[in-house]
Amino acid sequence: MNALVAGMPHKQQDIAQSVQALLGQMTLVEKIGQMSQVEASHGYAPEYLGDRLRAGLIGSVINVVEVDVLNELQRIAVDESRLGIPLLIGRDVIHGFKTVLPIPLGQAATWNPTLVEEGARVAALEAAKSGVNWTFAPMIDISRDARWGRIAESYGECVLLTSELGAATIRGFQGDDLAANGSIAACAKHFAGYGAVESGRDYATTNIADTKLRNVYFRPFNAAVDAGVSTLMTSFSDLNGIPATGNRYILTDVLRGEWGFEGFVVSDWDSIRQLQIHGLTENDRESAYAASTAGVDMEMAGDAYSNHLPGLVEEGRVSEESIDDSVASILRIKFELGLFDNPYTDPESLPEFANERALQVAKEAALQSVVLLKNDHGALPLAADELSSIAVIGPLADARYEQLGTWIFDGDEELSVTPLQAMRTLLGDSVELRYVRAMENSRSRVNDQFDAAVNAAHESDAVLLFLGEESILSGEAHSRADIGLPGDQVELVRRVRAIGKPVIAVILAGRPLTLSDIVDEVDAILYAWHPGTMGGPAITDLVFGKASPSGKLPATFPRVVGQIPIYYSQKNGGKPPSKDTVVHIDDIDTFAPQTSLGMSAFHLDTCFTPLFPFGHGLSYTWFGYENIRVSANEISIGEEVVVSVELGNHGDIEASEVVQLYTRDLVGSLTRPVKELKGFQRVRLAPRETRTISFKLHTDELAFFGRDGKRTVEPGMFHAWIGGSSDAEQRTEFRITEHR
């Protein structure tokens, strides 16, 4: 056995040997061909890409999803090129394919890794049926700025939740065996720090201290590597002065050196040539040099590599060994996908698009993603049998396309079931629905239908407002500086409110919106994100109490945009605000002291707390937490402590609750966040049931990267909370000591 394969499992040994054998036959130009991905949606690709394929100049194509076209591209690559290397077929399959699941931020609100994994599997099966074998998901950029349009594609602000859901998504796409029919390679993106772009402007700069990179932004990527993700994508953004696509520290030193990543790294779209625009390089040739020596293995949709790498190797500036490393990691994924055995797709061998199971998973994901933000006096659920009419008002009640959200290239709008449609189906003729769209779209300032909306509300027994933002208002390059309800929606709420009936708002959006303008104007708010194909039936089940809401916020909801960044795991600072220093006006603690009394980290014009905290989400029952306990008051490094609580369902319905464990490391050699999520469990309790919920916590889970850049647990006192949000009140404590 040679050194190359010692210690590898059998299949991996075979693959490693095959890769080396193939590499040995390749010319430099063919190698660089494997490192090039090309856009293939400009007409009939086999025609205009045929010659380059035959010459072995293309390793991957992007943006074709016609299975016949893709099979033909594979045939040319395999049968008509010298070495017959099959293609990677890339596509952004972000939250579903034909069947659309909730946006990732909505899926994060389920706090349900199993369901997220099932959703990714549904997407993989549908994408694979079209010939796609590589998706550019999950996006696991920690997102703490709701102005950033791409927060919609993220799993929110929390390191643990993002890491767990990212890994679940990867498992769903890749399955146990990448070569199995229906598995596709995943791509964790965007490495690294993209979510921290200044003021939420997409593509802007980031400045992130190394300890923060390591303790926050890197962590989901490290988890993705541990979960076996095949590929990673670089970020468009500048990171501490070195744009991610040219950043050797992150792409080579950390990713490969420290984490042992063996897949390959793809640039983002043309981001290699953009190194020049950033001002890092003078021209495309230097950009190719910077990216390739940094550790970017494949160029997406640009020609810097194909034009310049051959010359750079001939000059000796880029070594052929480093080219070989890149090509080997690309070929390895092609072997793992089984493409050398069979590059073709037989659509008949995979389940139908939008089959019953796919729609059921999409509905369940939507159902569990919806967050009940408030519910005064039990305004929800509505009792259908006590109503004879309902006013259904707003631009998003019947908007098939808009409810799908961002990144739905292949999503089938025709499959969407809107809330209005679903309510009609559920209620039949027994309840009259008075539908008034009221606004052409969420941004509209034309309010000539408002009178009709008010009249409908006046004449009906209940009022449902479907508000929010269209899909176009979030996603890539769709950031907003003001994240309130756009257009004249606030005015619509006020006009409807004025008639004095209970008002229920259902909000569809791609981000946390600032809701301070309407939160006191409505009795209940269901926050439904962009819920996807089956959003309508899911929302309808919740509105009429066929199911109880169980979603929890994956991101903090600010009161006003000026509070951003606001997130639960912030640092304490030396003059932290506290509830005691808040001035209470009419029992509402929303105002900071406008005098010198405060002297703490307040904004003068708003409270320091968010409107809704991370982890928040109500239910139609009432869950109570009592008797938090620790199994030991003191443990030493390397041991475990069990933290438990009694959770009671104090209502009359069976319902689910996401129980959350947070800790605080009170003193650290680097200051530590005021709270960190360390565990969560989605549990279902019968009416009046009480159950003990326990979390095992190993001291490793309390480690962090300290001053010396090493990940260590520091002895000392820890607080632990268990509750239904990051505002959990049940608290206990324990001490960690040095090894016994």
Contacts to ligand NOJ by CB under 6 A: 92, 136, 189, 268-269, 476
Min. distance of Cβ 215 from ligand NOJ in angstroms?
24
The nearest distance, CB 111 to ligand NOJ, in angstroms, is 24
CA pair distance 141, 529, nearest whole angstrom: 18
> What's the min distance (Å) between Cβ of 443 and ligand NOJ?
24
Amino acid, single-letter form, for residue 409:
F
Question: Which residue lies nearer to ligand NOJ by CB, 165 or 645?
Answer: 165
C-beta of 203 vs 608, nearer to ligand NOJ: 203
Q: For ligand NOJ, which is the closer residue by CB, 135 or 656? A: 135
The answer to whether the beta carbons of residues 119 and 95 sit under 8 Å apart is: yes
Residues 6+ apart with CB under 8 A from 429: none
Give strand ranges (E) for 388-450.
389-393, 432-436
Task: State the minimum distance, in angstroms, from the CB of residue 191 to ligand NOJ.
Answer: 11
Strands 690-698 and 640-649: antiparallel
In angstroms, the Cα distances linking 697 to 214, 228, 278, 657, 661 are 21, 24, 44, 20, 10
Q: What does the DSSP assignment read for 504-558?
A: EEEEE-SSPPB-HHHHTT-SEEEE--S--TTHHHHHHHHHTTSS------SS-B-
Compute, in degrees rounded to 10, the torsion defined by CA atoms 437, 482, 504, 587. Answer: -150
- 147 in Cβ contact with 564 (< 8 Å): yes
Q: Which two tokens stand for residue 599?
A: 């002297």
The residue among 164 and 476 lying less far from ligand NOJ, judged by its C-beta, is 476
Residue nearest to ligand NOJ (CB): 136
- Residues 692, 677: Cα–Cα separation, whole Å: 19
Please say which residue, 235 or 726, places its beta carbon nearer to ligand NOJ: 235
Q: By the 8 A CB rule, do 492 and 440 touch?
A: no
Structure tokens belonging to residue 532: 């996807």
Active site residues: 268
Nearer to ligand NOJ, 189 or 497 (CB): 189
* Min CB(134)–ligand NOJ separation in Å: 11
89 touches 311 (CB < 8 A): no
Q: What's the closest the beta carbon of residue 254 comes to ligand NOJ, in angstroms?
A: 21
Question: Residue 129 or residue 189: which is nearer to ligand NOJ going by CB?
Answer: 189
Decide: helix, strand or coil at residue 434: strand
Nearer to ligand NOJ by C-beta: 120 or 635? 120
Q: What is the DSSP string of 330-390?
A: HHHHHHHTTTTT-----GGGSPPTT-HHHHHHHHHHHHHH-EEEEEGGG--S--GGG-SEE
Instruction: Report DSSP state, residue 473.
Output: G
Shortest separation between residue 127's beta carbon and ligand NOJ, angstroms: 14
720: three-class secondary structure by DSSP: strand
Minimum distance from residue 187 beta carbon to ligand NOJ (Å): 7
